[in-house]
C-alpha cells in the first residue's frame, strides 16, 4: 500500500505532500491545477521513463518520494517484493515501510533509490509491479492491443493457464533450437562439409605429432641445457674433485672431504676440552660434503652421453613449432584448440543419416509443442466465456446493462515466411511466445448491436467502463495492491458516473484505490478526498499543492464540481445529497 508521497519541482508543483489511506481516495481540482502531476509522480516511482520537460521551470531537478508498506498484499506479492529488496540490498525503515525515490534532472538525467540504496529505474519497476498499478488516460487505448487482451485472459485464468503456458514455452524453446540447427545444416551443408574436412585434417596432423601439455617449454629448457653440456660437465666434475679429491692422483689431490676428516681427527685427539668440543661441528660439515659429493656424482651420471640427444630434441621442437604456427601460441593452446575442434566437428555431421536423425528430433519436438498448444488453447477457450460473462455483468452495473463483451480465442495463421510455423489438426499456425492463439475482445454496446472489436465498437466513455469492469474482475487475486485511475470516468456522466463511483468503492474494499476525477458523482464515494489547489503569486508564477478536505470542505468542493455551484445554497445542498447517498451505499448491509 502507498502511504505517503512527496513531490518537489514537478510541473506546476513546487512542493507537495499527500497522505494516503486504505479504501478509496479521490483527487480533484480545477483543470491545470496539477492533478496529472500526481499520477506522473506515481509513474516515475513505477520506473517509467523520465522526461526532463516535466521538471518545474527554474528548478534544477524534480524529486518524487513514496513510502510503501507490504503487510496488506498477498503472499506472492510480498515474496516478490522481498526478493527485490534483498537483491538490491535495500532496507526497510523501523516501521517496516520502504521508501522509493526518483530524481529527474533538468538535463534529463535520472536517478533512483530504494530503501536507501541507489538502484536502476528497472529495479523500481520490479519493486512497484506487485504493489502499484497505474492506469493513465491512454490505458484504454492499450486495452485494444491484442497482446494486452491475451494477457488479461491469461491473468483471469492464471491457475489453469500459467502452468500450461510455462510447459508450452519450454517445449517451444527446445523445438526452435532443434529446428534452427536443422535449417542451418541444410542451408550450409556444403560450407559445413568443407569446414568438417579442414577440422579433420588439422586434428589428424595434431594427433600424429601427439603433443603433451607443457612439452614445448620443457624442450626449450632441455635444449638450452644440452647446448651447454661440456661446460656443465666440467663444472660438476671440478666441484666433485674439490670435494672428494682426484681419484687418479690421491697423493696430490686431497679433497675437502679428506682434509675435513684429518681436521676432525686432530681436534678429537686434543686434550683441551674447548678444542675437542669442535669435533661434532666438523662431523656435521663432513656429512654435508658427503651429501654434496653424492649429488654431484648423480648429476654427472645423468648428463646425456649420447651425442645425438640434442639433435632428437631439436627435431621434436621443430614438429611442435609447426603446430604453434598454425593453431595457437603454445602447445597448451594447441591442445585446447583441438578439444574445441573435436566438439565442433561432432556438430558438423551433414550426412543424410545425421540430417534424418535431426529431422526426426524436430518432428518429435514439434508434436510436443502442438500438444501443449492445444491444451493451452482449450484452457483459454474455456476461460474466455467466463471472462466475457463476468465483465458483461460488471458493465450492467456501470449503466451499460445491455452491453455484452465476448472474448474470442482463435488460431493465429502462419505467414508465408513465418519464423515459427507449426501444424495443429491440419491447420498451419504461428507458434508465438504466448501460444498459437489470437484473443480478441468484442463488444456489443447495446441490445441488437453487432459484436465488434473494441477498437471499432466502443466510444471513449465505453472503453473507460470496459477497462474498469475488467479491472474489477481481474482484481480478485491482487488483494491489497494499490490501483490508480487517472480519469477512468472520462467521457461519461449522469447515471454512468454514479455507477463508476459505486464500482470504485466496491473495488476499494479489497484494494487501496486512488482516482483522479472531474465528476462529483465519483468523488462523493471517496473515503478520503484530496484536492490539488493552484495559486498565483501575481508575478506569473503558479504553484500547486495537495491537501485533504474536511467534511465541510468536501461539500464546497463537490458543489464547485457541480458546474461551479460552490457559492450557492442549491449547489451545497446537491453536494450534501450526493455525499449522503454515497455514504448510505457504502455502509455495510
557-572: per-residue pLDDT in tens? 998 888 776 677 888 8
Average model confidence (pLDDT) for the chain? Answer: 85
C-alpha cell at 381: 477457450
Residue 376 has pLDDT above 80, yes or no: yes
Residues whose CB is less than 8 angstroms from the CB of residue 532 and which lie 6 or more positions away in sequence, other chains included: 16, 27, 28, 29, 33, 34, 35, 38, 544, 545, 546
**Could you tell me if 9 and 59 are in contact, meaning their C-beta atoms sit under 8 angstroms apart?**
yes
Give the tens place of pLDDT for each residue, 130-184: 888 887 656 666 777 888 899 999 989 989 999 999 999 999 999 999 999 888 8
* Secondary element (H or E) of residue 117: strand 117-119
Mean pLDDT of 186-196: 76
Give the single-character DSSP code of 445. Answer: -
State the sign of the Cα–Cα–Cα–Cα dihedral 368, 370, 374, 380.
positive
Determine the pLDDT at residue 306. Answer: 64
Residues whose CB is less than 8 angstroms from the CB of residue 410 and which lie 6 or more positions away in sequence, other chains included: 437, 438, 440
Q: Distance between CA atoms of 349 and 182, rounded to whole angstroms?
A: 11
Mean pLDDT of 255-261: 84
Determine the pLDDT at residue 34. Answer: 77
C-alpha cell at 300: 654427472
Is the backbone of residue 306 left (phi > 0), alpha (psi -120 to 50) or beta? beta
Residue recorded with cell 450557492: 568
Determine the pLDDT at residue 305. Answer: 63
Give the tens place of pLDDT for each residue, 296-324: 888 878 776 666 777 788 888 899 999 99
Determine the pLDDT at residue 346. Answer: 81
Residue recorded with cell 621443430: 318
Residue 246 has pLDDT above 80, yes or no: no
**Could you tell me if 457 and 445 are in contact, meaning their C-beta atoms sit under 8 angstroms apart?**
yes
C-alpha cell at 353: 543419416
Determine the pLDDT at residue 25. Answer: 94
Residue recorded with cell 566437428: 345
The angle, 0 to 180 degrees and rounded to 10, between the axes of the packed helices 279-302 and 256-269 is 170
**Could you tell me if 40 and 82 are in contact, meaning their C-beta atoms sit under 8 angstroms apart?**
no
Determine the pLDDT at residue 439. Answer: 94
Q: Which of 42, 47, 89 is nearest to 68 (CA)?
A: 42
Determine the pLDDT at residue 272. Answer: 84
Q: Distance between CA atoms of 437 and 377, rounded to whole angstroms?
A: 7
**Could you tell me if 125 and 112 are in contact, meaning their C-beta atoms sit under 8 angstroms apart?**
no
Determine the pLDDT at residue 432. Answer: 93
- pLDDT > 90 in the chain, percent: 35
* Secondary element (H or E) of residue 457: helix 454-457
Q: What is the dihedral of CA 356, 357, 361, 364, to 10 degrees?
A: 70
Q: Which of 411, 492, 468 is nearest to 143 (CA)?
A: 468
- pLDDT > 70 in the chain, percent: 91
Q: Three-class SS string for 275-296?
A: HHCCHHHHHHHHHHHHHHHHHH
Residue recorded with cell 497482446: 147
Q: Which of 437, 316, 326 is nearest to 378 (CA)?
A: 437
Mean pLDDT of 414-437: 92
Of the pLDDT bands very low, low, confident and very high (cuts 50, 70, 90), residue 230 is: low
Higher-pLDDT residue of 458 and 503 is 503
Q: Which of 423, 417, 453 is nearest to 436 (CA)?
A: 423
Q: Which of 148, 168, 163, 166 is nearest to 474 (CA)?
A: 148
Q: Distance between CA atoms of 166 and 376, rounded to whole angstroms?
A: 10
Of the pLDDT bands very low, low, confident and very high (cuts 50, 70, 90), residue 589 is: very low
Q: What is the dihedral of CA 487, 488, 492, 497, to 10 degrees?
A: -100
Residues in the chain, overall count: 589
Residue 426 has pLDDT above 60, yes or no: yes
Q: Which of 550, 548, 577, 549 is nearest to 562 (CA)?
A: 577
Give the single-character DSSP code of 434. Answer: T
Residue 117 has pLDDT above 60, yes or no: yes
Q: Distance between CA atoms of 146 and 137, rounded to whole angstroms?
A: 19
Determine the pLDDT at residue 153. Answer: 94
Residue 479 has pLDDT above 60, yes or no: no
Determine the pLDDT at residue 350. Answer: 62
Give the tens place of pLDDT for each residue, 283-301: 888 899 889 988 888 887 8
Determine the pLDDT at residue 196. Answer: 83
CB atoms within 10 A of CB 5: 22
**Could you tell me if 52 and 107 are in contact, meaning their C-beta atoms sit under 8 angstroms apart?**
yes
Q: Which of 400, 545, 377, 384 is nearest to 458 (CA)?
A: 400
Angle, vertex CA 379, rays to CA 375 and CA 380, nearest 5: 115
Lowest mean per-residue pLDDT among 182-196, 339-353, 536-550: 536-550
Determine the pLDDT at residue 496. Answer: 78
Lowest mean per-residue pLDDT among 148-157, 259-268, 368-377: 259-268
Give the single-character DSSP code of 52. Answer: G
Determine the pLDDT at residue 136. Answer: 66
Determine the pLDDT at residue 313. Answer: 83
Give me the sheet containing 452-453, strands edge to edge.
Answer: 404-411, 437-444, 452-453
Q: For the whole prediction, is pTM greater than 0.75? A: no
Amino acid at each position: 500500500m502507498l502511504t505517503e508521497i512527496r513531490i518537489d519541482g514537478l510541473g506546476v508543483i513546487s512542493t507537495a505532500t499527500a497522505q494516503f489511506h486504505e479504501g478509496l481516495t479521490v483527487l480533484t481540482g480545477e483543470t491545470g491545477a496539477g492533478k496529472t502531476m500526481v499520477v506522473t509522480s506515481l509513474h516515475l516511482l513505477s520506473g517509467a521513463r523520465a522526461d526532463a520537460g516535466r521538471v518545474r521551470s527554474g528548478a534544477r531537478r524534480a524529486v518524487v518520494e513514496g513510502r510503501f508498506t507490504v503487510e496488506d498484499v498477498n503472499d506472492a506479492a510480498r515474496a516478490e517484493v522481498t526478493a527485490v529488496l534483498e537483491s538490491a540490498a535495500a532496507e526497510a525503515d523501523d516501521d517496516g515501510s520502504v521508501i522509493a525515490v526518483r530524481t529527474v534532472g533538468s538535463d534529463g538525467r535520472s536517478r533512483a533509490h530504494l530503501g536507501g540504496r541507489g538502484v536502476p529505474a528497472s529495479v523500481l519497476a520490479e519493486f512497484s509491479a506487485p504493489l502499484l498499478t497505474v492506469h493513465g488516460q491512454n490505458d484504454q487505448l492499450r486495452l485494444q492491443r491484442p497482446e494486452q487482451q491475451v494477457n488479461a485472459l491469461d491473468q483471469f485464468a492464471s491457475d489453469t493457464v500459467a502452468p500450461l503456458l510455462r510447459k508450452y514455452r519450454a517445449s517451444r524453446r527446445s523445438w526452435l533450437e532443434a529446428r534452427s540447427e536443422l535449417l542451418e545444416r541444410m542451408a550450409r551443408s556444403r560450407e559445413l562439409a568443407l569446414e568438417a574436412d579442414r577440422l579433420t585434417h588439422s586434428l589428424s596432423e595434431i594427433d600424429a605429432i601427439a603433443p603433451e601439455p607443457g612439452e614445448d617449454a620443457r624442450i626449450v629448457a632441455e635444449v638450452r641445457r644440452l647446448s651447454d653440456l661440456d661446460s656443465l660437465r666440467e663444472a660438476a666434475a671440478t666441484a666433485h674433485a674439490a670435494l672428494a679429491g682426484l681419484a687418479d692422483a690421491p697423493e696430490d689431490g686431497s679433497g675437502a672431504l679428506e682434509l675435513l676428516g684429518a681436521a676432525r681427527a686432530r681436534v678429537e685427539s686434543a686434550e683441551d676440552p674447548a678444542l675437542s668440543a669442535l669435533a661434532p661441528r666438523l662431523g656435521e660439515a663432513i656429512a654435508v660434503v658427503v651429501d654434496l659429493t653424492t649429488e654431484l656424482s648423480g648429476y654427472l651420471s645423468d648428463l646425456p652421453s649420447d651425442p645425438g640427444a640434442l639433435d632428437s630434441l631439436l627435431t621434436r621442437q621443430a614438429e611442435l613449432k609447426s603446430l604453434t604456427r598454425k593453431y595457437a601460441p603454445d602447445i597448451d593452446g594447441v591442445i585446447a584448440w583441438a578439444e574445441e575442434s573435436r566438439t565442433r566437428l561432432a556438430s558438423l555431421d551433414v550426412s543424410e543419416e545425421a540430417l534424418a536423425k535431426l529431422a526426426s528430433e524436430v518432428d518429435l519436438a514439434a508434436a510436443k509443442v502442438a500438444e501443449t498448444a492445444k491444451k493451452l488453447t482449450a484452457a483459454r477457450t474455456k476461460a474466455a466465456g467466463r471472462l466475457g460473462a463476468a465483465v458483461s455483468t460488471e458493465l450492467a452495473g456501470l449503466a451499460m446493462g445491455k452491453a455484452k463483451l465476448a472474448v474470442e480465442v482463435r488460431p493465429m495463421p502462419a505467414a508465408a515466411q513465418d519464423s515459427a510455423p507449426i501444424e495443429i489438426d491440419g491447420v498451419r499456425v504461428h507458434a508465438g511466445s504466448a501460444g498459437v492463439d489470437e484473443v480478441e475482445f468484442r463488444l456489443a454496446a447495446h441490445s441488437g448491436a453487432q459484436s465488434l472489436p473494441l477498437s471499432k465498437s466502443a466510444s471513449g466513455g465505453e472503453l473507460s467502463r470496459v477497462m474498469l469492469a475488467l479491472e474489477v474482475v481481474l482484481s480478485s487475486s491482487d488483494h491489497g495492491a494499490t490501483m490508480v485511475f487517472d480519469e477512468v470516468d472520462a467521457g461519461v456522466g449522469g447515471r454512468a458516473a454514479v455507477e463508476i463511483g459505486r464500482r470504485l468503492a466496491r473495488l476499494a474494499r479489497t484494494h487501496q484505490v486512488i482516482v483522479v476525477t472531474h465528476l462529483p458523482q465519483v468523488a462523493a464515494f471517496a473515503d478520503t478526498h484530496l484536492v490539488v489547489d493552484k495559486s498565483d503569486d501575481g508575478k506569473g508564477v503558479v504553484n500547486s499543492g495537495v491537501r485533504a478536505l474536511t467534511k465541510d470542505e468536501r461539500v464546497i468542493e463537490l458543489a464547485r464540481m457541480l458546474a461551479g455551484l460552490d457559492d450557492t445554497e442549491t449547489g451545497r445542498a446537491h453536494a450534501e445529497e450526493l455525499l449522503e447517498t454515497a455514504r448510505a451505499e457504502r455502509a455495510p448491509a
